[in-house]
Structure 1
Amino acid sequence: MAIKILILGLLENNPSHPYEMKQRLQQHGWDQIFSLTDGNLYHATRQLRKHEYIQAVKNEKNNKRPSRTIYQITAAGFEHLQKSILEVFQQRRDEAKALYPALLYIHLVPIEPVKQAIQTWIEELEMVERQHNKLKGSIPELIADHYISHHQFQKNWLGRVQQVLEEGKL
């Protein structure tokens, strides 16, 4: 899902060929954060085209090189992009490969459902934290400390995301 969010987000304002998308990701340094290969980029592009989330707008022929297909996002693709971004927060996908692309394009989604999903996520983390504080003596201390610290970090960071959304500083 993550690479598809990236592709759809990149195409939202700028129809492109997959190689151009890869170059833009590299220019921003995003290739250091996201697992990106020519193979997964072209595969995801084919999948998005198959589902009609993107469409070819033209083929460019460049001297001795093979023709390049320029793609743009469709209305269905934009809807899918919004849905996919919201699902990251609703499904509490905290791994970087899912969360970071969603954050890059969060400004394309109606904010209220995202804020509600984040608030629900924070409340769930608080509940888990309370439950595990009770278990502190029954599980090894280092494991308990790590687990609780991780949840506290997530909760605080999600609170920061909420704040940025509230302030409209996307």
Structure 2
Amino acid sequence: MARRGRANPLALAVLTLVYERPMHPYEMSGTLRERHKEDSIKLNYGSLYSVVESLRKRGLVEAQETVREGKRPERTIYRITDAGATEMTDWLSDLMAHPAKEFTQFEAALSLMPILPPDEVIRLLEIRLRTQVLNKKKHDGLLAQAPGRFPRLFLIETEFQQALLGAEIEFIRGLLEELRSGEFPGLRAWQRQHDLRASGASPEEVVAVLTEEFKEEMSWLDQLDSEHP
């Protein structure tokens, strides 16, 4: 179970930065961008200050000194505490070892997909597929140029992103093939509910038709629930 304050990966990134050496928030932001960590961790300069303050209140970082360069505003440099180093190691180890449910936007869209007609879903998936194929080609090119310029250790998250992109592309292609061919289970009922709505059928009539169409599948789910309460 995640501990209190572990919901924001940006806080973990801050801990790793000040573990390397003391920094002020502006330098933290610049370092994360220089290392392209915004591709993996949501980075907002305004929220970064809030994250640092939250870590300070929890005793995980502390102010080392306040400096002023020329006419620039004063900047507070933060360093990690012993408690912060322990939390950083424990938190990162937990993330590496234990899978956690992640609620992605595409997964949410798929779970709500039936509200759109099948033909519209096909059109939208084709758009997404083209976009993701282009994204993968672009990132493939970047990775191909990386050897000799960046150690693989600092690009491993990009390899993971590529693997996820490849899996998504394969999934979308398979789903589109089923939808276009008509082999997708329940496709007829899915289309029929939209035809009924377009003809002015009441919600109750639509539900009754869907219940009848999916009677066999629903009975299987009921049986599964009774076997595994």
Q: Name the TM tier (shorter chain).
A: 0.5 to 0.7
Alignment of 1:148-159 (within 5 A): none
Separation in 2, partners of 1:52, 1:68: 19
Separation in 1, partners of 2:14, 2:26: 11
**3-state DSSP of counterpart to 1:21:** helix
Q: Kindly provide the CA deviation profile for residues 2-26 of structure 1, in whole angstroms up to 9, marking residues without a partner as x.
A: 0111000011111100110111111
Change (3 A) 1:83 1:96: farther
Separation in 2, partners of 1:96, 1:5: 20
Separation in 2, partners of 1:41, 1:95: 22
Gaps of 5+ in 2: 1-7, 105-152, 155-183, 187-229
Matched, 1:92 2:99: yes
Among 6, 13, 21, the alignment partner of 1:6 is 13
**3-state DSSP of counterpart to 1:69:** strand
Matched, 1:70 2:77: yes
Separation in 1, partners of 2:103, 2:77: 29
Matched, 1:40 2:13: no
In structure 2, give the amino acid aligned to 1:35: K
Separation in 2, partners of 1:96, 1:9: 25
Deviation of residue 59 (structure 1)? 0.4
Alpha-carbon RMSD across the aligned residues, in angstroms, is 2.9
Q: Counterpart in 2 of 1:17?
A: 24
Gaps of 5+ in 1: 98-102, 105-138, 142-170
Between the two proteins, the alignment pairs up a number of residues equal to: 103
Separation in 2, partners of 1:75, 1:25: 23
Separation in 1, partners of 2:99, 2:35: 26
Question: Moved runs in structure 1, 4+ residues, more than 4 A?
Answer: 94-97
Deviation of residue 88 (structure 1)? 1.8
TM-score (normalised: structure 2): 0.40
Deviation of residue 83 (structure 1)? 1.6
The structure with the larger Rg is 2
